Amino acid sequence: MSYNKDYLYNETNGVPLQPIQDAEVTEKTCLQQPTKQQLSWEEKELQEDELNFKNLTVDETSLPLSSPPDTNNLVYFTFLIHGIGVLMPWNMFINANEYFTNYKLSPEYIGFIFPYVPNFMQYLTFSAQVPSVLFNWMNVFVTIGGSLTTRIVCSITVEVIVFIITVILAMVDSSTWPHGFFYVTMICVVILNMANGIYQNSIYGMAAKLPGKYTGAVILGNNISGTFTAVVNLLSSLMTSNTRMAAIYYFITALFILVICFVSYFTLQRNRFYRHFELKEKKDVEQRRQLMRGSSERPPYLYILKKSLPQLYNVFFVFFVTLAVFPAIHADIKPVDENFFIPLNYYASITCFITFNVFAMIGSWLPSYFIWPKPKYLWIPVTLRILYIPFYLFCNYQVKGLDRILPVLVTNDLVYWVVAATMGITNGYFSSLAMMYTPRMVEERYATTAGMLAAAALITGIFTGIISSFLWPWVIANVG
């Protein structure tokens, strides 16, 4: 390389590289002051492993540093959809009570009185909730591992297959094998809820990585799910007078929702907002592992249980009372007044399923505006809800194949409907309060375990309420 005052030349080809005017550049100064590129992390003398980015993408390097916006609330609405999806199987089957008892297992269709019809809803809910109880309590003490993608994709795929089988069962003539139809349906319900238990836990785990309102989106979706399913059931009945076709339209809707959930999961994985919190959570987990390396400390379950017990009772008892009545008694209440403005064909859909789910959804919103009572006194209104059980038994509760002896004391359909609305709103409100209060009863580091115990108490209340509902047909037929 040679230099002069006017130009810098490349000796290889003699082409001028850069004109230099009014500058004193000499060969000596150029040689004495060579150009050096110096990186900022070299100046700080950081360790070599902190400079190794060869296994990271640009996004993985930049995303944890700043939070991108949730553009158009896309992630929020995605979790809302999954909230609808996780309760879709349960709501679809309990809302289809009329299809099973008045069509597929009716004397007109099979030619005789099917022995399981009086307690069909109890058998259905029992089959649905046993897997949920087992998975929820197991999840408190045992961490279920596995790839999140594998768990969600496999569980939704199983649910889709079960609903396809359900649609096929609706299409075929099962009048000659009603017992086989009944047992296949119950097996489908068990498999469906086993898969749904994994799906539900996974979705709540995903939402927990994000700010609190995204877990709220899943809960809101849960509450919308019941209303949505009840409305779909009503619309499918209005679209056609053919019970078989109405059932096909109804169950295909569930398939459609599950496919949307399936696709939206993969869309979520490409969203920068979600990936920011996912990478941040991975980093936090790794840091906790480093801090806890060599430690085998387990949560003090007895201590947490003792501190949380008052609120665990509230969670349990709210759902025990609700499931003792809904849908086992609630769905079989008939109008007393034949001229009541709601037609008989839609009476259960409107006064039971739509009313309960809409007002439960409203009740779950109320704690956002006011909170009453305080944790110490919540047990009082929760315990008073036990009065709903005798009230419903004295309504016009009729069970197929049984002669009612217990007198009907509630003879006003409007009074029954208003009380049904209060049961829905108190279920949503008091269950939300109890679930909010439970983690606050213990130190912050034990809040997660307390929350898991609350979820287990919730599902145990549902299960116990369902067990008790087997008693009510006997009560109305033998107590007078």
Tell whether 246 and 386 lie within a shared domain. Answer: no
Q: Can you tell me the distance from the alpha carbon of 86 to that of 56, in angstroms, rounded to the nearest whole number?
A: 34
> Given the structure tokens 């009086």, which residue do they identify?
118
Note whether residue 390 is domain-resident. Answer: yes
Weakest mean pLDDT among 38-52, 153-167, 389-403, 453-467: 38-52
User: In this structure, is residue 406 part of a structural domain?
Assistant: yes
Give the number of residues written for the chain.
480
Alpha-helical regions (H) of 208-300: 212-239, 243-269, 272-291
Q: Decide if 39 is inside a domain.
A: no
Which has more pLDDT, 418 or 432? 418
What tokens appear for 351 in the block?
């006064």
Least confident of 199-213, 312-326, 372-386: 199-213
pLDDT of 61 strictly over 60: no
Instruction: Answer yes or no: is 51 within a domain.
Output: no
Q: What is the DSSP letter of 68?
A: P
Position 408 confidence tier, pLDDT thresholds 50, 70, 90: very high
Q: Which domain holds residue 305?
A: 301-480
Confidence (pLDDT) at 57: 53
Residue with tokens 């009048």: 175
Is 331 in the same domain as 246? no
Residue pair 196/85 in contact (Cβ under 8 Å)? The answer is no
**Spatial CB neighbours of 122, under 8 Å, sequence gap ≥ 6:** 328, 466, 469, 470
Q: Are residues 211 and 337 in the same domain?
A: no
Could you tell me the pLDDT band of residue 299, with boundaries at 50, 70 and 90? Answer: confident
Same domain, 273 and 344: no
Task: Map residue 18 onto helix, strand or coil.
Answer: strand
Determine the Cα–Cα distance for residues 33 and 75; give it in Å rounded to an integer. 55
Q: What is the pLDDT of residue 259?
A: 93
Grade residue 138 by pLDDT with cuts at 50, 70 and 90: confident
Instruction: Return d(Cα 45, Cα 52) in angstroms, integer.
Output: 14
Q: Which of 4-8, 67-71, 241-245, 342-346 has the lowest mean pLDDT?
A: 4-8
Instruction: Report if residue 53 sits inside a domain.
Output: no
Residue 278 lies in a domain: yes
Least reliable range by pLDDT among 71-80, 83-92, 270-279, 424-433: 270-279
Q: Is the pLDDT of residue 50 over 80?
A: no
Burial class (CB in 10 A: 0-12, 13-18, 19+), 402: middle
pLDDT at 147: 66
| C-alpha to C-alpha distances, 5 to 24, 31, 32, 134, 263, nearest whole angstrom | 7, 15, 17, 86, 67
Q: Retrieve residue 169's tokens.
A: 């069962």
Q: Check pLDDT > 50 for residue 169.
A: yes
